[in-house]
C-alpha cells in the first residue's frame, strides 16, 4: 500500500459524506489488499430513569437528555496466497455528550481482531470480541436500546479471545477460548467487588459485573434452513464455561464479612470470611423464522448462567449455606420490515436472578419503530414497558425487588423511552 492507512481513513471520511450506501466503503483495493471504512453518528433523546440525563443526589436520573455518539470501523483484508487470506477489524466507540466533559470523553475500542481465512476450511481470529455463546443468544437482539435485558452474554466483549468458525451447507460451527484477563465485564456477576459494612449498615465499593477471569471456553452450533414460506428457519445452541482468577485478593468477591476495622477508603482491613466467584457456566438455545431484511420475523431465546461460589462465611451468617447464584432468562421478539423504509419490532424479555433463598424477576416489553429515509439516514423511537417486574419496597418483609437484588443491574419496573436520528456511512 503506497498510502498510509491513516491517510486512507481520512480520505474515506470525506468521501463517504457523499456516499449512496450505508455499507462499508472500500477506499483501497489493489493486488489482493483492501481497506473498507464504515461508521455512524447519532443523537438520541433518553427519558428520565434511563441512566442518561441529569442525575439527582440519589443516583437516579431525574430529567431526560440528548446524548450524541459516534462509531468508526475499519475492515482490512490481504490475500496471502490462493488458499489463505489475512484479515483484521478495528471498531471504535466515541461517546460524546454523555455527561462527561470533552477532555475526558471516551474513544474506546469496541472490536479489535486479526485472523486468517482458510476458505472452505474456516477462519481463525484473535483479539477482542464476544465468545461463541453470543451466536446462540443473538436472534432476539433486534432493538437499539431496550433489548437483551433477559439474557446474559450480550455485552461480554472480552480481550484475548481465540476463535475458530466454519460454515457450510447451512451449518455454523464456532469454538472459542479466552485467556486470563483482569477487570473484564461479565453479565450477571452483579455483586462483584461489593462488601457489606456491618459497622455502617450499608454496601461499600464495587464495580458491578467486572471480574478477573482465569480462562473460559465456548462452543456454538447452528443450522439455517432454506426458505420456508416467508423465510428461513434457524436453530442455534451454545455452551460457555469458565474459571475465575484466584479470589484471594477479593477482586472476585460477592460479599465480605468484616470482623473489626476499616481502611479510610472504605475497604475492610480484616476479613473473617466472605463469598467469592469460583467458576461459571451457561447454556443457551435460540430459534428464529424469517429475515430482518424483508417481511415478518419471529425469534425466541432461552439461557441460563450459573455461578459456583466459594463460601467461607462463619456458620452463623445468614448466607453461610449459599453456594451458587443463577441468572435465567428468555426473550421473544417479532418484527416486520415493510420494504419501503419502515420497520416495526416488539418483544418480551424476562430475567430471574437467584442468590441462595433470595430471588426476584424482571419483565419488560420493548417496542421499536424505525424509518429509513435512505441507507444513510434513519430515525427511530423505542420504548420499554414494565411487564410485572418485582418491585416491592425494601421495608416489606420477604419482599422481592429485582433492581435491588441485581445491585442496580437495571430498573425494569420503570417505563422508559428513547428517540434518535442516525447517519450511517
For 375-390, how does the pLDDT look when each residue is reduced to its tens digit (9 = 90+)? 999 999 999 999 999 9
What's the pLDDT at 177? 98
* Residue 211 CA to its chain's centroid (Å): 15
Tell me what the mean pLDDT of segment 73-100 comes to: 87
Contact present, 188 and 156 (Cβ < 8 Å): no
Residue 164 inside a domain? The answer is: yes
pLDDT above 70: percentage of residues in the chain = 79
Please indicate, yes or no, whether residues 146 and 252 belong to a single structural domain of this protein: yes
Please indicate, yes or no, whether residues 370 and 308 belong to a single structural domain of this protein: yes
Q: Out of 90, 114, 138, pick the residue that ends a domain.
A: 114
Please indicate, yes or no, whether residues 345 and 279 belong to a single structural domain of this protein: yes
What's the pLDDT at 270? 54
Q: Is the pLDDT of residue 308 over 90?
A: yes
- Reported as a pLDDT band with limits 50, 70 and 90, residue 191 is confident
Q: Is the pLDDT of residue 269 over 70?
A: no
Tell me what the mean pLDDT of segment 300-322 comes to: 85
What's the pLDDT at 254? 73
Tell me what the mean pLDDT of segment 308-317 comes to: 78
- Reported as a pLDDT band with limits 50, 70 and 90, residue 404 is confident
Tell me what the mean pLDDT of segment 302-328 comes to: 86
Cell numbers for 306 = 450459573
Closest residue by Cα to residue 167 from 117, 122, 227: 122
Average pLDDT of the residues of the chain: 84
What's the pLDDT at 394? 67
CATH (domain of 151): 2.40.160.10
How far the first Cα of the chain sits from its last, in Å, is 23
- Reported as a pLDDT band with limits 50, 70 and 90, residue 12 is very low
Residue 91 inside a domain? The answer is: yes
Residue 75 inside a domain? The answer is: yes
Tally of domains within the chain: 2
Q: Is the pLDDT of residue 5 over 60?
A: no
Closest residue by Cα to residue 137 from 326, 351, 342: 351
Among the ranges given (190-204, 282-296, 318-332, 333-347), the one the predictor scored with the smallest mean pLDDT: 190-204
Contact present, 362 and 330 (Cβ < 8 Å): no
Please indicate, yes or no, whether residues 253 and 308 belong to a single structural domain of this protein: yes
The span from the CA of 24 to the CA of 20, in Å, is: 11
Please indicate, yes or no, whether residues 135 and 96 belong to a single structural domain of this protein: no
- pLDDT digits 0-9 by tens, 342-363: 999 999 999 999 988 889 999 9
What's the pLDDT at 249? 54
Q: Which residues on neighbouring strands pair with residue 44, listed in sequence order?
A: 67, 420
pLDDT above 90: percentage of residues in the chain = 57
Q: Is the pLDDT of residue 31 over 60?
A: yes
Residue 15 inside a domain? The answer is: yes
Please indicate, yes or no, whether residues 340 and 362 belong to a single structural domain of this protein: yes
pTM: 0.84
Q: Is the pLDDT of residue 322 over 90?
A: no
**Higher per-residue pLDDT: 137 or 250:** 137
Please indicate, yes or no, whether residues 100 and 166 belong to a single structural domain of this protein: no
- Reported as a pLDDT band with limits 50, 70 and 90, residue 157 is very high
Residue 59 inside a domain? The answer is: no
What's the pLDDT at 8? 38
**Higher per-residue pLDDT: 245 or 54:** 245
Please indicate, yes or no, whether residues 319 and 219 belong to a single structural domain of this protein: yes
Residue 63 inside a domain? The answer is: no
Please indicate, yes or no, whether residues 268 and 414 belong to a single structural domain of this protein: yes
The span from the CA of 65 to the CA of 414, in Å, is: 17
Q: Is the pLDDT of residue 166 over 90?
A: yes
- What are residue 199's phi and psi, to 5 degrees? -65, -35
Q: Is the pLDDT of residue 335 over 50?
A: yes
**Higher per-residue pLDDT: 4 or 158:** 158
Domain that holds residue 7: 1-44+71-114
- pLDDT digits 0-9 by tens, 217-255: 999 999 999 999 999 999 999 999 999 987 555 567 776
Of the CA atoms within 13 Å of residue 54, those in its CB half-sphere come to 4
Please indicate, yes or no, whether residues 100 and 148 belong to a single structural domain of this protein: no
Contact present, 163 and 125 (Cβ < 8 Å): yes
Please indicate, yes or no, whether residues 346 and 245 belong to a single structural domain of this protein: yes
Tell me what the mean pLDDT of segment 411-421 comes to: 92
Residue 51 inside a domain? The answer is: no
**Higher per-residue pLDDT: 382 or 412:** 382
Please indicate, yes or no, whether residues 27 and 132 belong to a single structural domain of this protein: no
Residue 1 inside a domain? The answer is: yes
Tell me what the mean pLDDT of segment 415-425 comes to: 95
Amino acid at each position: 500500500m503506497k498510502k498510509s492507512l491513516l491517510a486512507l481513513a481520512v480520505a474515506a471520511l470525506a468521501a463517504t459524506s457523499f456516499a449512496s450506501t450505508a455499507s462499508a466503503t472500500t477506499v483501497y483495493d489493489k493486488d489482493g489488499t483492501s481497506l473498507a471504512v464504515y461508521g455512524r453518528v447519532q443523537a438520541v433523546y433518553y427519558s428520565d430513569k434511563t441512566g442518561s440525563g441529569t442525575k439527582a443526589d440519589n443516583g437516579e436520573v431525574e430529567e431526560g437528555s440528548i446524548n450524541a455518539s459516534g462509531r468508526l470501523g475499519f475492515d482490512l483484508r490481504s490475500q496471502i496466497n490462493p488458499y489463505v487470506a489475512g484479515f483484521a477489524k478495528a471498531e471504535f466507540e466515541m461517546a460524546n455528550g454523555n455527561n462527561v466533559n470533552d477532555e475526558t470523553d471516551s474513544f474506546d475500542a469496541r472490536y479489535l481482531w486479526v485472523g486468517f481465512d482458510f476458505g472452505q476450511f474456516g477462519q481463525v481470529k484473535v483479539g477482542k470480541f464476544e465468545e461463541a455463546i453470543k451466536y446462540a443468544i443473538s436472534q432476539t437482539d433486534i432493538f437499539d436500546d431496550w433489548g437483551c435485558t433477559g439474557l446474559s452474554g450480550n455485552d461480554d466483549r472480552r480481550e484475548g479471545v481465540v476463535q475458530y468458525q466454519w460454515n457450510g451447507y447451512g451449518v455454523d460451527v464456532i469454538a472459542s477460548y479466552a485467556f486470563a484477563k483482569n477487570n473484564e465485564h461479565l453479565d450477571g456477576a452483579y455483586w462483584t467487588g461489593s462488601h457489606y459494612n456491618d459497622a455502617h449498615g450499608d454496601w461499600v465499593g464495587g464495580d458491578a459485573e467486572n471480574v478477573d477471569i482465569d480462562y473460559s471456553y465456548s462452543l456454538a452450533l447452528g443450522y439455517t434452513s432454506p426458505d420456508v414460506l416467508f423465510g428461513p428457519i434457524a436453530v442455534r445452541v451454545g455452551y460457555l464455561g469458565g474459571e475465575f482468577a484466584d479470589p484471594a485478593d477479593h477482586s472476585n468477591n460477592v460479599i465480605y464479612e468484616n470482623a473489626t476495622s476499616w481502611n479510610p477508603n472504605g475497604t475492610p482491613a480484616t476479613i473473617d470470611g466472605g463469598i467469592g466467584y469460583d467458576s461459571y457456566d451457561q447454556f443457551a438455545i435460540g430459534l428464529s423464522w424469517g429475515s430482518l431484511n424483508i417481511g415478518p420475523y419471529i425469534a425466541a431465546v432461552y439461557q441460563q448462567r450459573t455461578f459456583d461460589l466459594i463460601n467461607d462465611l462463619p456458620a452463623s451468617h445468614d448466607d453461610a449455606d449459599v453456594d451458587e447464584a443463577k441468572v435465567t432468562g428468555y426473550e421473544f421478539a417479532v418484527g416486520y420490515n415493510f420494504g419501503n423504509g419502515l420497520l416495526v419490532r416488539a418483544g418480551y424479555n424476562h430475567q430471574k436472578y437467584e442468590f441462595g433463598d433470595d430471588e426476584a424477576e424482571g419483565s419488560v416489553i420493548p417496542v421499536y419503530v424505525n424509518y429509513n429515509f435512505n441507507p444513510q439516514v434513519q430515525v427511530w423511537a423505542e420504548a420499554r414497558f414494565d411487564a410485572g417486574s418485582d418491585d416491592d419496597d425494601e421495608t416489606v418483609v420477604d419482599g422481592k425487588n429485582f433492581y435491588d437484588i441485581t445491585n442496580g443491574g437495571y430498573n425494569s419496573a420503570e417505563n422508559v423511552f428513547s428517540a434518535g436520528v442516525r447517519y450511517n456511512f
